[in-house]
Amino acid sequence: MKKNKTYNKKKTVIVFAVCIAMMAGLAGRLFYLMVLRADYYTEKADDLHERERDIKAARGKIIDRNGVVLADNRAVCTISVIHSQIKEPEKVTDMLVKELEITEEEAKKRVEKVSSIERIKTNVPKETGDRIREYNLAGVKVDEDFKRYYPCDDLASRVLGFTGGDNQGIIGLEVQYDSILEGINGKILTTTDARGVEVDEIGESRVEAVAGYNLHISMDYNIQRYIQQEAEKVMEEKQADRVSILLMNPRNGEIYGMANVPEFHLNDPFTLPEGTDTTGKTEEEIQDLRNQMWRNICINDTYEPGSTFKIITAAAGLEEGVVSLDDTFSCPGFRVVEDRRIHCHKRTGHGAETFLEGAQNSCNPVFIDVGLRLGVDNFYRYFRDFGLMTKTGIDLPGEASTIMHKKENIGQVELATMSFGQSFQITPIQLAVTVSSIINGGNRITPHFGVEVRDDDMTLIDTLEYETKENIVSQETSKTMRYILEKVVSEGSGKNAYIEGYEIGGKTATSQTLPRSANVYISSFLGFAPADDPKVLGICIIHDPKGVYYGGTIAAPVMKRVFENVLPYLNIEKQNG
Is there a cis peptide before residue 557, judged by omega within 30 degrees of 0?
no
Residue 505: name the closest of 476, 524, 525, 527 by CA: 527
Mean pLDDT along residues 430-444 = 98
What pLDDT is attached to residue 448? 98
Region of 10 on the Ramachandran plot (φ > 0 left; ψ -120 to 50 alpha; else beta)? alpha
Mean pLDDT along residues 375-393 = 97
Q: Residue 49 pLDDT more than 50?
A: no
Strands 460-463 and 242-248: unpaired
What pLDDT is attached to residue 116? 73
pTM as predicted: 0.86
Residue 176: name the closest of 67, 260, 257, 60 by CA: 60
Mean pLDDT along residues 252-275 = 96
Contacts of residue 434, Cβ cutoff 8 Å, sequence gap at least 6 = 312, 386, 387, 388, 444
Q: What is the DSSP string of 459-487?
A: -EEEE-----B--SS-HHHHHHHHHHHHH
Answer yes or no: are the C-beta atoms of 443 and 493 closer than 8 Å: no
Q: Which segment of 30-39, 182-191, 419-428 scores lowest on mean pLDDT?
A: 30-39
Strands 214-217 and 62-63: parallel
**Helix runs in 440-550, H state only:** 475-491
Q: What is the mean pLDDT of the chain?
A: 91
pLDDT-based confidence at residue 412 (cuts at 50, 70, 90): very high
What pLDDT is attached to residue 98? 93
Q: Which domains does the chain have, with CATH numbers?
A: 51-84+91-99+119-217 (3.90.1310.10), 255-263+297-569 (3.40.710.10)
Q: Residue 201 pLDDT more than 60?
A: no
Residue 432: name the closest of 258, 239, 240 by CA: 258
Answer yes or no: are the C-beta atoms of 422 and 306 closer than 8 Å: yes
In angstroms, the CA 154 to CA 262 distance is: 9
Q: Indicate the SS3 state at residue 379.
A: helix
Answer yes or no: are the C-beta atoms of 442 and 411 closer than 8 Å: no
Q: How many CB atoms lie within 10 A of CB 156?
A: 30
pLDDT-based confidence at residue 261 (cuts at 50, 70, 90): very high
pLDDT over 70, % of the chain: 91
Q: Residue 294 pLDDT more than 70?
A: yes
What pLDDT is attached to residue 47? 46
Q: How many CB atoms lie within 10 A of CB 4?
A: 8
Return phi, psi of residue 514, to 5°: -90, 145
307 annotated active-site = yes
What pLDDT is attached to residue 46? 47
Question: Among 244, 307, 362, 478, which one carries the catalytic annotation?
Answer: 307
Q: Residue 171 pLDDT more than 80?
A: yes
Region of 536 on the Ramachandran plot (φ > 0 left; ψ -120 to 50 alpha; else beta)? beta
117 burial class (0-12, 13-18, 19+ CB within 10 angstroms)?
A: middle
pLDDT over 90, % of the chain: 74
In angstroms, the CA 422 to CA 427 distance is: 13
Element (H, E) at 81: strand 69-81
Q: Which segment of 86-95, 433-442, 558-567 scores lowest on mean pLDDT?
A: 86-95
Element (H, E) at 294: helix 283-294
Q: What is the dihedral of CA 114, 117, 118, 120, to 10 degrees?
A: 150
DSSP designation for 216 = E
Residue 215: name the closest of 546, 29, 518, 449 by CA: 449
Q: Residue 190 pLDDT more than 80?
A: no
Q: How many residues does the chain have?
A: 577
In angstroms, the CA 20 to CA 28 distance is: 12
**Helix runs in 202-259, H state only:** 221-237
DSSP designation for 426 = B
Mean pLDDT along residues 92-97 = 92
Q: Which segment of 135-149, 150-164, 416-430, 463-477 scores lowest on mean pLDDT?
A: 135-149
What pLDDT is attached to residue 527? 98
22 burial class (0-12, 13-18, 19+ CB within 10 angstroms)?
A: exposed
What pLDDT is attached to residue 4? 59
What pLDDT is attached to residue 192? 58
Q: Residue 44 pLDDT more than 60?
A: no
What pLDDT is attached to residue 487? 97
Answer yes or no: are the C-beta atoms of 541 and 427 closer than 8 Å: no
pLDDT in tens, 476-526: 999 999 999 999 999 999 999 999 999 999 999 999 888 887 889 999 999
